[in-house]
Amino acid sequence: MFRPKSTLEQWRIFQAVVEHGGYAQAAEKLNKSQSSLNHAVAKLQQTLGVALLEVRGRKAYLTDAGDMFLRRAKLLNQQMQELELLAHNIHQGWEAEIRLAIELVHPRRPLNRALQNYYPLSRGTHLQMFDSVLSGTLEYIHEQKADIVISGHVPKGFLAEPLAEVTLLPVCHIQHPLALEKGMLSPDELSQQLQIVIRDTAKNPKELTGWLKAEQRWTVTSFHEAIEVLLTGMGFAWLPQHLVEGFIQRQQLHRISLREGNERKFFTHLIVPAPDRLGPSANCLLECLRLSHPLTASYWLNNKKATAVELTPPTTMS
């Protein structure tokens, strides 16, 4: 194992001397004697065999090498500060890690807004995010494999808050035979075509939807993969409107017209599988999620007298 010849305190002193403009000023800020700072930096330079500072008069100036080492020293000192802060937070009950499972169909823009708000409040918590599909999402709930779950289905016995409305549209390539058909198609006619479906992430998948009735299916792992297949001219798929509307507007994909069931609407929900086990960091993330989604933001701002996170909610859903 590598044994460092320099110490973190030496690097801290070196950074302080540069940032405060000299040994005397740094000694006052660090509440140390000037001679001890001189000795620490001299020892550091001797150990490295590199001149970091050049003293002119009463001021110390960085050498070219010293400028490079200073950038690394700042990172080193920051990482040590974050490490000790993390230990303090864990001691205070702040979680080292939380797990968030997200139904793949959920719109990412409000989710990313929530994550952006959570990050400066996270205190170094390691956030693990898992994309899940259909009954795979329910596994995260039933087996309590995640602290917070965004799900398109609400299993019995669990409380849920609606987060976002999702609309699925049947789409195909603009030159696919389905796009060239005149008039509206019946579900039976659609079922005779190749359907591109998203793989259920459960260990033992269960068909939760009654509209996956095509005789022939190809299975992919993401909506983006499904879109790539459709763009080659093969098959059709039920895809989220927020992902395909741009392709439809650019006339790369075609929205299939059906006599009935022309679109599928449902809500994604915010679920906490084990509320009693939720720690302060997970609660902070939960509140960021609520305030970043319009469906829940208005309720929480109007009905909570005090919130731990002061955020401005979005005005429109995206």
pLDDT tens digits for range 103-125: 999 999 999 999 999 999 998 89
* Burial zone of 66 (CB within 10 Å; 0-12 exposed, 13-18 middle, 19+ buried): buried
91, 118, 153 - which closes a domain:
91
- CA 170 – CA 211 distance, rounded (Å): 11
- Start-to-end Cα distance in the chain: 51
- For 169-221, the pLDDT digits (tens) are 999 999 999 999 888 998 888 888 999 999 999 887 765 554 456 678 899 99
In the predicted model, is pLDDT for residue 312 greater than 70?
no
In the predicted model, is pLDDT for residue 24 greater than 90?
no
* Burial zone of 186 (CB within 10 Å; 0-12 exposed, 13-18 middle, 19+ buried): exposed
> Mean pLDDT score of the chain, rounded to an integer?
87
In the predicted model, is pLDDT for residue 270 greater than 70?
yes
Most confident among 62-71, 76-85, 298-307 (mean pLDDT): 62-71
Size (the chain), residues: 318
91, 119, 151 - which closes a domain:
91
pLDDT at 310: 39
Residue 290 in contact with residue 161, Cβ under 8 Å? yes
Among the ranges given (54-63, 195-204, 220-229), the one the predictor scored with the smallest mean pLDDT: 54-63
313 within some domain: no
pLDDT at 307: 40
- CA 266 – CA 298 distance, rounded (Å): 20
Across the range 213-241, mean pLDDT stands at 92
Range of the domain at 274: 97-163+267-303
Claim to verify: residue 173 and residue 251 sit in the same structural domain: yes
- CA 253 – CA 178 distance, rounded (Å): 11
- CA 234 – CA 177 distance, rounded (Å): 10
pLDDT at 313: 37
Q: 29 or 307: which carries more pLDDT confidence? A: 29
Entry pTM: 0.69
2 within some domain: no
- C-alpha Rg value of the chain to the nearest Å: 28
- For 26-50, the pLDDT digits (tens) are 899 899 999 998 899 999 999 999 9
Claim to verify: residue 189 and residue 42 sit in the same structural domain: no
Q: What is the separation of C-alpha 284 from the centre of its chain, rounded to a whole number of angstroms?
A: 14
pLDDT at 147: 95
Claim to verify: residue 86 and residue 112 sit in the same structural domain: no
Claim to verify: residue 173 and residue 259 sit in the same structural domain: yes
Residue 28 three-state SS: helix
309 within some domain: no
DSSP category for residue 104: T
239, 264, 289 - which closes a domain:
264
Across the range 127-144, mean pLDDT stands at 94
Claim to verify: residue 250 and residue 216 sit in the same structural domain: yes
H/E stretch holding 162: strand 161-173
142 within some domain: yes
106 within some domain: yes
Q: Strand 148-151 to strand 236-240: parallel, antiparallel, or no bridges (unpaired)?
A: unpaired
Claim to verify: residue 191 and residue 253 sit in the same structural domain: yes
pLDDT at 59: 73
pLDDT at 76: 87
What CATH number does residue 85 fall under? 1.10.10.10
Claim to verify: residue 37 and residue 12 sit in the same structural domain: yes
Claim to verify: residue 86 and residue 37 sit in the same structural domain: yes
Q: Strand 264-271 to strand 148-151: parallel, antiparallel, or no bridges (unpaired)?
A: antiparallel
pLDDT bracket for residue 277 (50, 70, 90)? confident
The total domain count for the chain is 3
- CA-based nearest residue to 45, from 30, 24, 28, 60: 60
pLDDT at 89: 61
315 within some domain: no
- CA 262 – CA 243 distance, rounded (Å): 17
Q: Strand 264-271 to strand 161-173: parallel, antiparallel, or no bridges (unpaired)?
A: antiparallel
Claim to verify: residue 153 and residue 181 sit in the same structural domain: no
pLDDT bracket for residue 317 (50, 70, 90)? very low
